[in-house]
């Protein structure tokens, strides 16, 4: 069974703090990893992709990948109220031509 696990939250952080979102996946052969943001009633919006171990930074967002631990995370620095959304982890698992999504972590940034 191919699984992507996320803590559903809710996660609350004060404005300006760092939000840390975590994701684990079951398929050791997975090769590509994505973070999407989904506002209520809207579609997933791509934030970050990461393909190799280590950190990848894009503005206030940093994705971290550890394939040995089958773990991917997203850090949001200087969190803003507009970052309040559900964050979805998506993984391409080697055996299939599809993404597997986690259930998402709900983030609330408190002004």
Partner 1 sequence: EPEVTQTPSHQVTQMGQEVILRCVPISNHLYFYWYRQILGQKVEFLVSFYNNEISEKSEIFDDQFSVERPDGSNFTLKIRSTKLEDSAMYFCASSPAGIFYEQYFGPGTRLTVT
Q: Which residues bind partner 1 (CB under 8 A)?
A: 31-32, 34, 36, 42-46, 49, 51, 88, 90, 92, 96-104
Nearer to partner 1, 7 or 103 (CB): 103
- Closest contact distance (angstroms) between CB of 19 and partner 1 is 20
Other Cβ atoms within 10 Å of 109 Cβ, number: 20
Secondary-structure breakdown of the chain: helix, strand, coil percentages, each rounded to the nearest 5? 5, 55, 40
Cα–Cα dist 111/102, whole Å: 27
Q: Residue 53 and residue 73: Cα distance in Å, rounded?
A: 11
Residue 51 or 78 with smaller CB distance to partner 1:
51
Shortest separation between residue 109's beta carbon and partner 1, angstroms: 22
**CB-nearer residue toward partner 1: 91 or 109:** 91
Peptide bond just before 110 cis, omega within 30 deg: no
* Nearer CB in complex with partner 1: 25/36: 36
Least distance from C-beta 105 to partner 1, angstroms?
Answer: 12
């Amino acid at each position: 069974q191919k699984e992507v696990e996320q803590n559903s939250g809710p996660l609350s952080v004060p404005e300006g703090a760092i939000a840390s979102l975590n994701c684990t996946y079951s398929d050791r052969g997975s090769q590509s990893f994505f973070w999407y943001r989904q506002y209520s009633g809207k579609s997933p919006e791509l934030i970050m992709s990461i393909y190799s171990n280590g950190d990848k930074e894009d503005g206030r967002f940093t994705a971290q990948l550890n394939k040995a631990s089958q773990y991917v995370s997203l850090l949001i620095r200087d969190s803003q109220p507009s970052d309040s959304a559900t964050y979805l982890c998506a993984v391409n698992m080697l055996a299939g031509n599809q993404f597997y999504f986690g259930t998402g972590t709900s983030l609330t940034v408190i002004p």
